Amino acid sequence: MPAVVAAEGLCKRFGEVEALRDVSFDFDGPRVIGILGPNGAGKTTLLDILEGLAEPDHGTVRLFGSAPAPYPRSRVGVVLQREMVLDRVTVAEYAELFAAIHGVRGGQARILAGAGLEGRTRVPVDRLSGGEAARLFIAAAVVHDPDLVLLDEPTARLDPESKRRVGAMLREMGRQRTVVLTTHDLHEADAVCDYLMFLVQGRVRGLGTPQELLEAVPEDQRSGTPVESAFFHHCAVRIDVGGDAR
């Protein structure tokens, strides 16, 4: 079977900034795959390319074994870093809209149940807590049962309990489909991800399961979580308290 997502030699520049340099990988599933790196590492640029929102300057992408032209929208779910929501749209209306977009009968109820928001249907989406909104966006993105889900920092700016709930949601999703998420939170990656790609300054610094990446780290250089130890070793970057890497 071909890889769910495959990239070879991806390069992308924005003027003098080299956002991606010779990025290659194969992702299979079902599992949760984390693209891990500090702010400015190229994570969002890479996801934009995988989502069909941008084109690489060089290199190729294949989804489900084929070039994404036309893009296989019915097999992919996407949550952007900043989802756009119209003013005064309620939770129920948002869920109904996405169910209609994907043509899913009973989709509104499925989204509300998946997000755990059955009792918040009349609340405007922009009045939800960060965790509630994240769960709603994720549930809406998978209402059509996609094989691949792409999420750009889905738990950014969430409190620890909200991160835990969203993380549990992602782990459950990863049992049935390939979930690819970007994050700069090392603790989140350790708790949620089955497979990791370390991306720093647009280059791949590590690729493998957390255990595989940790095995390359000498015992006397290990500290914190396995992902912290592996990231520090492979990327040679400073790790701040709280999980951010710079």
Mean pLDDT of the 203-212 span: 94
Cis preceding-peptide flag for 70 (omega within 30 of 0):
yes
Tokens of 164: 């835990």
pLDDT of residue 225: 83
Instruction: Work out the average pLDDT over 152-174.
Output: 92
Strands 58-63, 76-79: pairing is unpaired
**Does 195 fall in a domain?**
yes
Whether 220 shows a pLDDT value over 80: the answer reads yes
Classify residue 126 by burial, with Cβ atoms within 10 Å: 0-12, 13-18, 19+. exposed
Q: Give kind and range of the element (H or E) at residue 172.
A: helix 160-173
- Per-residue pLDDT, 233: 85
Condensed to tens digits (0 to 9), the pLDDT of residues 18-65 reads 999 999 999 998 999 999 988 889 999 999 999 999 999 999 999 999
Q: How far apart are CA 231 and CA 239, in angstroms?
A: 9
Instruction: Give one DSSP letter per residue of 38-54, joined into a string.
Output: -TTSSHHHHHHHHTTSS
42 in any annotated domain? yes
In the chain, the amino acid numbered 41 is A
Dihedral of the CA atoms 31, 193, 181, 25 (nearest 10)?
A: -70
Average pLDDT, the chain: 91
Grade residue 244 by pLDDT with cuts at 50, 70 and 90. Answer: very low
Q: How many structural domains are present in the chain?
A: 1
| Percent of the chain residues past pLDDT 70, beyond the cut | 96
Q: What is the pLDDT of residue 100?
A: 96
CA distances from 208 to 23, 127, 132, 133 (A): 15, 39, 31, 31
Domain that holds residue 148: 5-235
Q: Considering the entire predicted model, what is its pTM?
A: 0.91
At residue 139, φ and ψ (nearest 5 deg) are -60, -40
User: What is the end-to-end Cα distance of the chain in Å, rounded?
Assistant: 37
Q: How many whole angstroms from its chain centre is CA 49?
A: 13
Residue 40 lies in a domain: yes
Tell me if 94 is assigned to some domain.
yes
List phi, psi (to 5°) of 213: -70, -35
Judged against a pLDDT cut of 70, whether residue 240 lies above it is answered with no
**36: enclosing H helix or E strand:** strand 31-36
- 136 lies in some domain: yes
- Position 243 in a domain: no
User: What is the domain-level CATH number for residue 159?
Assistant: 3.40.50.300
Question: Quick check: is 245 in a domain?
Answer: no
Whole-number Å distance between alpha carbons of 182 and 42: 10
Q: What pLDDT does 242 receive?
A: 42
In the predicted model, is pLDDT for residue 246 greater than 70? no
Is 240 contained in some domain? Answer: no
